[in-house]
């Protein structure tokens, strides 16, 4: 079967990464089934030569319909965001992935490409370069549901692969930025708008980031590579960027003051935890401006090794961080941000 005649199911197609994956596949001439929820905003998919499929990760019957006649699943849907209850992350990210795997297996889907995250290694000090063989953080902070979700969903994927139910590939992106980013860059700008904004850690901390174009290129390459079966790939930008530089770029293009105050992460974490508690007590919708996951992501130094993707996929991450930040700041609707299933 020629590559462009293969049928792709992209979950989370209304989300940031999933929407861009759909666009890339359509440009290549592939047949694309874009899985979205009934309530999803699909405006960015209009004009693309694809099939919209209304299905839910919580609805096994709808997943059966979504997987019919599919050759490759690219699973980008998950509970995203940095705030919320474990039940939501578990139901969407873990149990939802397991339901999708079961449907894909029953329909003989040839490949299952799972989009995970560097979060599986944990958001904490590591003291080493993180390659794909680094251990998972199986004991994350009690409040860190995102890390727990990503670890357990990957466990499910690899267990199904080992059992011969699917042929899996996993990609672990860093913080993805670019057009239609509704989380990372807009939230950085929100933090800089506070009357007093102190960043955790040191200005030289390496911030793990990749542009959406580079991330999608890695996903598509992996989906089309037989070498990638049974493999995991870190996906992060080739050029190291420090905390001060990335926030400085956000400040410049958002018309805000660049950060100048840096506080120990150990000091900022409990203060942010108190903010989260007050936010919940007040019953406010969405997420507070600062969350503990954002603090640990910015507050430690991360060195991500992506050499495997270079060797095996020929992938190079040479995206322009500044251009990606400019595109991300064009997000028109701040109400779209927050914890949700992509």
pLDDT of residue 69: 96
63-77, 137-151, 224-238, 328-342: least confidently modelled range: 328-342
pLDDT of residue 332: 57
For the full predicted model, state whether its pTM sits above 0.85: yes
pLDDT of residue 331: 59
pLDDT tens-digit readout, 295-320: 999 999 999 999 999 999 999 999 99
Tell me what the pLDDT averaged over the chain comes to: 92
pLDDT of residue 256: 93
How far apart are the C-alpha atoms of 309 and 296, rounded to whole Å? 26
Q: In the chain, what are the domain boundaries? A: 3-176+207-236+333-341
pLDDT tens-digit readout, 28-58: 999 999 999 988 888 999 989 999 999 999 9
How far apart are the C-alpha atoms of 54 and 47, rounded to whole Å? 18
212 and 282 Cβ atoms separated by less than 8 Å: no
pLDDT band at 3 (very low <50, low <70, confident <90, very high): low
Q: Report the percentage of the chain scoring pLDDT > 70.
A: 95
How far apart are the C-alpha atoms of 129 and 296, rounded to whole Å? 17
How far apart are the C-alpha atoms of 89 and 92, rounded to whole Å? 5
Q: What is the DSSP string of 3-28?
A: GGGSEEEEETTTSHHHHHHHHHHHHH
287 and 337 Cβ atoms separated by less than 8 Å: yes
How far apart are the C-alpha atoms of 52 and 227, rounded to whole Å? 30
pLDDT band at 333 (very low <50, low <70, confident <90, very high): very low
pLDDT of residue 1: 39
> What sign has the CA pseudo-torsion 162, 166, 168, 174?
negative
pLDDT score of 22 more than 80: yes
pLDDT score of 334 more than 60: no
pLDDT of residue 287: 85
The set of residues, in sequence order, having a beta carbon less than 8 Å from that of 130 and lying 6+ positions away, is: 118, 121, 234, 302, 303, 304, 305
Read off the pLDDT of each residue in 113-132 and give the average, rounded to a whole number.
96
Q: What is the CATH T-level fold of the domain 3-176+207-236+333-341, as seen in this structure?
A: Rossmann fold (3.40.50)
pLDDT band at 178 (very low <50, low <70, confident <90, very high): very high
pLDDT score of 197 more than 80: no
Read off the pLDDT of each residue in 240-264 and give the average, rounded to a whole number.
94
The set of residues, in sequence order, having a beta carbon less than 8 Å from that of 163 and lying 6+ positions away, is: none
How far apart are the C-alpha atoms of 79 and 93, rounded to whole Å? 6
pLDDT of residue 241: 96
pLDDT tens-digit readout, 60-116: 999 999 999 999 999 999 988 767 889 999 999 999 999 999 999 999 999 999 999
């Amino acid at each position: 079967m020629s590559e462009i005649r293969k049928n792709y199911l992209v979950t989370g197609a209304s989300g940031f990464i999933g929407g861009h994956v759909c666009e890339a596949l359509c440009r290549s001439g592939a047949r694309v089934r874009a899985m979205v929820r009934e309530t999803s905003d699909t405006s960015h998919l209009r004009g693309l030569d694809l099939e919209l499929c209304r299905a839910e990760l919580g609805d096994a019957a709808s997943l059966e319909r979504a997987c019919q006649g599919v050759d490759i699943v690219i699973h980008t849907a998950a509970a995203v965001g940095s705030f919320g209850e474990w039940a939501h992350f578990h139901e969407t990210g873990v149990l939802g992935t397991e339901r999708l795997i079961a449907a894909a297996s029953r329909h003989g889907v040839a490949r299952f490409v799972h989009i995970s995250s560097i979060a599986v290694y944990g958001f904490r000090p590591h003291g080493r370069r993180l390659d794909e063989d680094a251990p998972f953080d199986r004991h994350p902070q009690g409040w860190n549901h995102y890390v727990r979700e990503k670890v357990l969903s990957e466990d499910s994927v690899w267990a199904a692969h080992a059992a011969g139910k699917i042929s899996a590939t996993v990609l672990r992106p860093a913080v993805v930025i670019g057009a239609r980013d509704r989380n990372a860059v807009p939230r950085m700008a929100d933090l800089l708008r506070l009357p007093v904004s102190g960043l955790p850690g040191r200005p030289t901390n390496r911030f793990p980031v990749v542009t959406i174009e580079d991330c999608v290129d890695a996903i598509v390459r992996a989906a089309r590579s037989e070498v990638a079966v049974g493999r995991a790939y870190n996906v992060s930008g080739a050029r190291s960027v420090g905390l001060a530089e990335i926030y400085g770029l956000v400040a410049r293009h958002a018309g805000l003051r660049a950060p100048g105050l840096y506080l120990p992460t150990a000091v900022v974490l409990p203060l942010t935890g108190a903010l989260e508690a007050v936010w919940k007590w007040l019953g406010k919708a969405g997420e507070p401006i600062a969350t503990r996951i954002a603090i640990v992501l910015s507050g430690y130094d991360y060195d991500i090794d992506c050499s495997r993707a270079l060797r095996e996929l020929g992938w190079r991450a040479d995206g322009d961080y500044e251009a990606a930040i400019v595109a991300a700041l064009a997000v028109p609707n701040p109400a779209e941000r927050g914890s949700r299933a992509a």
